[in-house]
Every structure is written in structure tokens, then in C-alpha cells.
Chain A
Amino acid sequence: MVKYSGYKGRILRVNLTNKKTTTLDFTDEFAKKYLGGNGFAARYIWDMVDPRMAAYDPTNVVAMMTGPFQGINIPTAGKYYMATKSPLTNGYFDSVSGGYIGAQIKYAGYDGLLITGKAEKPTYIFIEDAKVEFRPAEKMWGKLTGETQEMIKEEIGDPNLCVSAIGPAGENLVRYACVITEYRAAGRGGVGAVMGSKNLKAVAVRGSGSNQVADPAKFEEWLDWYSVEAKKIPSLVAGLPIYGTPVLVASINNMFGAMGTRNHQTEVFEGWEGISGETLKRVYWSKDTACPACPIACSKVFTVKDGKWKGAISEGPEYETIYAFGSMCGISDSGALIKTDSLCDEWGIDTITYGVTLSFLMECYQKGLINKDNTDGAEFKFGNDDVLVGFVEKTAKRQGIGNLMAEGSLRASKVIGSDSERFAIQVKGLEIPGHSARALRGMALGYATATRGGSHHDPRPTGEYAGVSDRKAVEGKAAWVIGTQQMTTIGDSLVQCHFLERLLGFTLTQKFVDMINPVTGFGYNLQELVDVAERILDLERSFNVMAGIRRKNDTLPKRFLEEPIPDGPSKGMNTDEATLSRMLDEFYGIKGWDKTTGIPTKDKLVKMGLEDVALALEKL
């Protein structure tokens, strides 16, 4: 037991090889030092996984974590956190998803699960409080995520059971296979593929316990403060509740000219109206849904009532998916997007990487680097929605060109050759989402330095859209980016989504401290919280360093470094090699990382209380 609230003080370790489980108790100091979710997983994965090992090695760990906020009535924290060594980036990787399973892990008496080993046969794990069962999943193997969840709920006899499952893509080691809980995805980086490599089809959790806060009166005060202040934030009262994240399409495309189009050949999409939040709401909207305990309900169920894709229904697409399937593939029919979104969820594929990889292949096709002989006879033309819809299944099954698509754009470019890597839109192997690295200076540096690579949840674009940080400025940008990365790290450790950033701050502020202290009783001050974030980021970086990541990997696709945006509101903008290099120097300087190599210095690691990590890096 730990003295702080929001924690159970206990992690469940599951070994699939010998079907043994053990519990691991942590100390008060550990909780305060690593906070939860991201922090816990980063520490445990550092301790347990050799970063040089292949992602599919049985010794790799799938961490399923919670923070102090899961299972209590706090907005935007109805989530769970997954981490592993990624088969896509070969580095530390985490993915956060909406889902009640986070709360259930807490109610079952754990702060998280660490799953290692490899089951002999397809298996799913059922956890009910202290009871852990390894159950055969042969009959679910090959099944879609929805059907798998239903089969498990039926087998256990609980329609309300929380199940996180992989689809056939995870089983077939598609490098960006996701994990699905209900209809939401721990999407990026291939956590689902690592589960597949362990013959682990699903994790189901049910708990009969509860979670409490340290100071109920102060917490009530905070909730009252939230309900008053949140009403003053337009995105929290209108944008997200009414339209969801698709609301971003119109402004990002028209105001900023920053919506990657046809594999970033431009960043203004002429067909934006068909895939805008307004069109989705007017023509396709059926229902608002929410992550557990969240009053915002930004998730939307869309139904296609007419036309070619009539009958398709999906929770989503979200903005990033609209970018990846829509503007990137040159498709302006939301019907096709909704259909593909539901297929990706069912087969268990990350929508961003799927769309961006497809748009990369479409450009290869346009340039004549591949042709119908390579594409199973299909026309990989921009705008061909039959390809978008039709190749989800082939990718999940690794059939035909689907086998290449399943590798992601970077690996595909190495197979195709002809300098196609210059327009593979990825960083460290992870495809870049719909926030422009050319139109937003912070995202250029942010993607380049992010632990995960092309992720919009390491650095955040919102502050630059809001004009709080000048999106063109180079001066001071390194400090800004570090600030946003610290903010997302704390969010991922609380396992809370980042949509409160306009309320709490784009970088860490006292408001985060005021939210955390009543729940946990840590009595943090702001500097202590910043140190927690830095400690976690340094730990992640050190893991990546051990896996071979250096300064030379902190870069952007050649296209972004060499070709300014050709037209639209951000015409002429990009961050070139020299500018990026200058920002990197400044970034490493502030971080306390070595400027030549990008390795965290011993001084910095010791200052963060990571002496053992410093020692390991010294041996390199």
C-alpha cells in the first residue's frame, strides 16, 4: 500500500510463457517520482526490456497502465495507457486510448499490468480482482475486434465486461496494428502487433474495488472550478462537443493551409468541404459518445445513409484519420472515410499510418515507381476510394501489396528505392499526423525530437494554432517545444487526454498542480512536476539511445526540409536543415543532452535521480 491516493501500490506481472503471475509492490517515493501511466511504464520497461532486442522477442513487455485519475469522476481521464518497444520505430512507444478498462484495472486492485513472455497457443487473459486466468483464444483467432470482444463477454457472461483486443492485423504482425477497446483504439506504433507476437488476443478486466481521492473537499472545489472555467473555453463547449475533432478540418485547411494533401505535395485540399466537421455533422452524424467519466463527449458515431458506401457506421473518423484517408489520399467523400475507419477498427489497424502509407504508395504510383503489376491490378491513384476501402483487409492479412503496406511507409520506401524515402512522411518510422511540420515551426522540432517520432501527442500543435507561440518563430521555439512535451508527458502519466490544454495550459502550469494534489495528496510544487516530466522524457530518450537513436535520427522527411509549401496561406514555409540544426542545438542545450550525439548527459540524469541510467549509458 502507498500512502498517496489514486494508487493501489501494486502492479500485476503476467508471464505468458509459463502462465505465472506475480505482483510487484511499489513505494511512496516511486509513485511521487514517476506519477503513473507513462512514468511507471517507462521505468518498468527500462528495467525489464533490453532496448537492443527485437520488438517481437518474447522478452519484450506490453505494459497496460493507469494513473491516479482512473476510475474517479475527473474529466478526460477515462482512458488507459499502453507501452512497449515498437516494431515500427524500434524505440520506446506508448499509446493512450479511451476505455473503461483503465478504471477496471484500478478497481481490480492494480495500477497496471506488465505482460511478458509468449503463450504457446492463442490466449486471452481474464482478470477479476486477485484471480487471473489464461483462457484459450483459438476460436477468437482470426476474428475481428468487435466479434472478439462479444465472444469474450459472452464466454464470461458479462455484457459490461471491458475487453481490449487485437484484430487479425495484430496476429499477422502488421507493424502498426492497434488494440481496440469498445470502439476506441490504442492506435499507434504497433502495440497490437507485439500482443500478436505473444499470441495474446485480448485482455479482459473486471474489478470490484473502488478508487478515492486524498482530499474530497478540495477535489469538489476543483470540479466546481472546472465546471465554471470549462464553459469559457469555446473548444470545450462548442467545437468538441458538437463536431468532435473533425471541427479542425476547416481551420487547418483554410486558415493555416496546413492540411497535408496528396502525400504533402501541397497542404491545401480543394475537396476539404466534403470531409469537414460541418459536413460530417450535417450529413452523417448519428450520436455523441464519450470516454468514461468525460462530460465533453467529443466522439461521434457517423452513419452513411446514402451513396456508394451506404450502411457504413463508425465511431469516428477523428481529425487525424480524416487527414490520413481524406486529404492525403485525395478523397473528399466522407462515406469512404467512415467505411475505412470502421474497417481499420475491426481489422485492428492504426488509421494514421495506414492512410499515410497508402498516400505514399499513391505518389509512388503517380511517379511510375510502382505500377499495376505491383498493386494486385488496382489503380493506386490519388482519389481512388476503392483502394482506400479495399486494401484494409489485404494489409491486415498481408496479402499481395498489403504485405508491403503492413510494413509502413519507411520500410516500403526502402523496398521501392529510387530515393522515395524523401517523400515517406514519417519520423523514426512513425507516420506524421495532420499537423504540419512545415506550417508549424514547433511541430518541426517537436516531431524531430519526439520519443515516438511522428506523433502529435509528444509535442502539441494547439498552442501554435491559438497563437500563444508564433508558429513561424525560431527564437524561443526550443523552450516552447520542451514545454509542450513536458505537458503531454504529465498528461500521459495521469492518463488523461490533452484536450484540457486550452484550460490548464499548453505547457505545465500551476493549474496542473492544483488538479493533481487534491487527488493524490503529493503536495507537488510546479518545479517538482516539471522534474517528473523531464525524468520520464530522459528515461525514454535513454531507452532509445540504447536502441541506437542519436542526433542524426532527430530529423524530418527530406521533403519537409527541402520543399517549402507550394501554395495556400502557408506558402513558402518550411524548416530547412540548417534551421532545424540550430533549433536542435538549443533544444539539447536546455535539456542537458549532448549536442553532438543527442545523448542525455550524466549530470542531467543524476540531477533527475536516474543514476543507474547514467551508469548504463556510460557503458555504451
Chain B
Amino acid sequence: MSVIVTLEKKPLIKFDVQKCAFCKICELSCSKYHYGRYADSLARITVVRKSPLMLRCHICTRCEKRFCIAACPKNALSYRGGNIVVDEKFCDSCGICVKACPFHGIRLHPETKMPLICDLCDGDPSCIKACPKSALSLVLLPEARK
């Protein structure tokens, strides 16, 4: 599955709360893909369990408002090719973007302190491939009119 992301379509990793079994394999596969090791602190997707039946998936939704971009005091974030991209030259690891994201889709790398944001693994998200319950899927939404 490879997806060519165009500016007209907005990619979204959809989460099926009923199918998800809270195994967190998505988190492990994310960190493995990006860093070659297993760690939830390096994952750009996080699943949180609130009660026996209530699960939340925290990941960048490519939302319309782009709260993170607006909040960044260093203009280090931009939206390109369907992803929020970090310009590490400008980022000073202040963490304001982490707090600004209402979807809890950003965390800072524990060592470099750079923001970690879902980048769809070059169009073939490893979390979707790894999920044993098929709870994650990639959908393309039409970009809302400005």
C-alpha cells in the first residue's frame, strides 16, 4: 500500500475503538520504523486506555486549524505534502506545540527534544501494517475549503 499524497487530499489515520485491543504494537512498530529500536517514548502514535471500553488514540490528525504551526514561536513547523514538518534548525524544543495540540499528537524526543509528529512512514504507515486487529486505516479526506 503506497499512497501519493496530494495537496487536495488530507490523509488521516483512522482509529477504530471497537477493534483496538490496546496491545500497543502500533507504538512499538512506529519507534522501530523510525529509530530501529523499541520504545513508546519514541512513538508518534499513542493509545491510552481510560476505562475497560474507552480507548483514545493520540496521533496527528492533520487538523484544519494547525494549532501547532500557529503556536510555534520560532516558525519551525509547516504543513507540506500532507504532513506537519519540523525544521530542526529553527526548533528550540520549547514544547509549546506539544501543549497546543488538542489531539495530543506531538511529543518531544526524549534525547534530542525535537517534536515527534506522525509522518505516515513515507506513505506506508508501519502502525497500520503492524496492527493485528486492523484497527487502524488510512483514509484520504477532501481538503476543506478555506
A→B interface (CB under 8 Å): 71-73, 78, 100, 103, 107, 159-160, 182-183, 207-212, 216, 286-295, 297, 299, 301, 303, 313-315
Contact = CB atoms under 8 A, between A and B. Distances in A.
A210 B42 contact: yes
Contacts of A71: 38-39
Given A287-B53, A288-B133, A313-B52, A73 B21 contact: no
B35 A289 contact: no
B133 to A, nearest CB: 7
Contacts of B31: 210
Given A292-B24, A294-B23, A295-B132, A211 B38 contact: yes
Most interface-central of A73, A107, A159, A209 (chain B CB within 10 A): A73
Chain A at the B interface: SS class:
loop
Contacts of B40: 100, 103, 107, 160
A100 B43 CA distance: 15
A208 B25 contact: no
A302 B116 CA distance: 36
A295 B131 CA distance: 8
A72 B40 CA distance: 10
Contacts of A294: 23
25 contacts: A71-B38, A72-B28, A73-B38, A73-B130, A103-B40, A107-B41, A159-B48, A160-B48, A183-B52, A210-B31, A210-B41, A211-B37, A211-B38, A212-B38, A287-B18, A288-B21, A289-B21, A289-B22, A291-B23, A293-B25, A294-B23, A295-B25, A301-B53, A303-B53, A313-B52
- In the A-B complex, the 8 residue pairs with the closest CB atoms: A295-B132, A210-B39, A208-B110, A290-B23, A297-B21, A210-B37, A290-B21, A208-B41
Given A183-B52, A313-B53, A72 B24 contact: no
A212 B18 CA distance: 31
B61 interface: no
B37 A287 contact: no
B23 A297 contact: yes
Most-contacted residue by chain A among B22, B37, B49, B132 (CB, 10 A): B22
Given A160-B46, A182-B49, A287-B53, A293 B39 contact: no
Interface in B32-78: 32, 35-42, 46, 48-50, 52-53
Nearest to A207: B41
A212 B22 CA distance: 22
A297 B38 CA distance: 20
Contacts of A160: 40, 46, 48
A297 B131 CA distance: 12
A159 B50 contact: yes
Contacts of A313: 52-53
Nearest to B130: A73
Nearest to A315: B52
A71 B32 CA distance: 11
A475 B111 CA distance: 59
Interface string B5-31: 000000000000010011111001101
B42 A100 contact: no
Contacts of B35: 210
A73 B39 contact: no
B23 A78 contact: yes
A294 B46 CA distance: 16
A183 B52 CA distance: 8
Interface in B82-117: 110-111
Given A212-B36, A295-B132, 4 more contacts: A73-B29, A73-B38, A78-B24, A159-B48
A290 B24 CA distance: 9
Contacts of B111: 208
A293 B132 contact: no
Nearest to B32: A73
A448 B88 CA distance: 63
A31 B140 CA distance: 49
B2 to A, nearest CB: 21
A100 B28 CA distance: 12
A293 B24 contact: yes
A320 B44 CA distance: 38
Contacts of B23: 78, 290-295, 297
Given A159-B50, A313-B52, A315-B52, A73 B28 contact: yes
Nearest to B17: A287
Contacts of B130: 73
A211 B18 contact: no
Nearest to A303: B53
Contacts of A288: 21, 133
B39 A208 contact: yes
Contacts of B28: 72-73, 293
A286 B130 CA distance: 23
A129 to B, nearest CB: 9
Contact of B36 (A73, A182, A216): A216
A19 to B, nearest CB: 27
Contacts of B36: 212, 216
Q: Which of B22, B23, B36, B111 has the most CB of A within 10 A?
A: B23
B133 A209 contact: no
B37 A212 contact: yes
A537 to B, nearest CB: 30
Contacts of A303: 53
A388 B32 CA distance: 47
Contacts of A216: 36
B52 A314 contact: yes
A358 B54 CA distance: 33
Nearest to B133: A297
B53 A286 contact: yes
Contacts of A107: 39-41
Given A78-B23, A293-B23, A301 B52 contact: yes
Nearest to B18: A287
B35 to A, nearest CB: 7
B38 A72 contact: yes
B39 A290 contact: no
A209 B39 contact: yes
B54 to A, nearest CB: 10
A110 B35 CA distance: 21
Nearest to A208: B110
Contacts of A103: 40
A290 B55 CA distance: 13
A286 B52 CA distance: 10
Contacts of B37: 210-212
A292 B22 CA distance: 7
A210 B38 CA distance: 5
Contacts of A287: 18, 21, 52-53
A246 to B, nearest CB: 16
Contacts of A314: 52
Contacts of A299: 21
Contacts of B24: 78, 100, 292-293
A315 B46 CA distance: 21
Residue in B35, B36, B38, B132 with the greatest tally of chain A CB atoms within 10 Å: B38
